[in-house]
Chains A and B, each alone.
Chain A
């Protein structure tokens, strides 16, 4: 069955450092991989989408890589800030009807 794994432990980093979150998947051939941010009690907020034929995508302080051979995506937040503290969800989509298969998420805590 399809499986998506994200860092199971919370990630604690200091303000100003780069946070790197991992998303690994098995038994899946996604056309797209997306990253979402979710704050406690709120709905997920779309951050970045990367297509299967793209290696890297950037948006401001965010960078996503996508390696379909390793079946892995890395999500980087550079110059992290306490306001970046949240749970980050990785989601895969096939080329069909844009339904998302999510990982459990990784909680990021950025300390001042």
Chain B
């Protein structure tokens, strides 16, 4: 049973560019959340998708957007990249609606903005 898979694993972008990161949740999971983890920090919640809708959002600007597809996979898009967007982007999946279910993380996508 594949866990949460993310792509690409590493990428380098230039300031001002746009990036799309992809996530396939664990089999049977219908809820996908995205987190940003800067070096030396804990992950920070960006947003959560359930039934193809953004259900909850953290304190991130509108440059960060996402999408969830009918097969529950998800994309994270970041526009107008800034140097400060360099981080590990983590996708997490779970079964909803019961909070307290185990949340599984992917290995992340390392984004470097130069």
Contacts and interface: CB of A to CB of B under 8 A. Distances in A.
Interface of A: 4, 31-32, 34, 36, 41-46, 49, 51, 89, 91, 93-105
Contacts of B97: 97
A56 to B, nearest CB: 17
A32 B99 contact: yes
Chain B CB count within 10 A is highest, among A32, A41, A43, A95, for A43
B73 interface: no
Interface of B: 4, 31, 33, 35, 40-45, 48, 50, 55-56, 58, 90, 92, 94, 96-97, 99-108, 110
Given A32-B100, A43-B4, A99-B56, 6 more contacts: A42-B108, A44-B90, A99-B33, A99-B45, A102-B35, A102-B43
A46 B107 contact: no
Nearest to B104: A46
A97 B99 contact: yes
B108 A43 contact: yes
Contact of A100 (B4, B41, B45, B55): B45
Given A89-B42, A104-B40, A46 B103 contact: yes
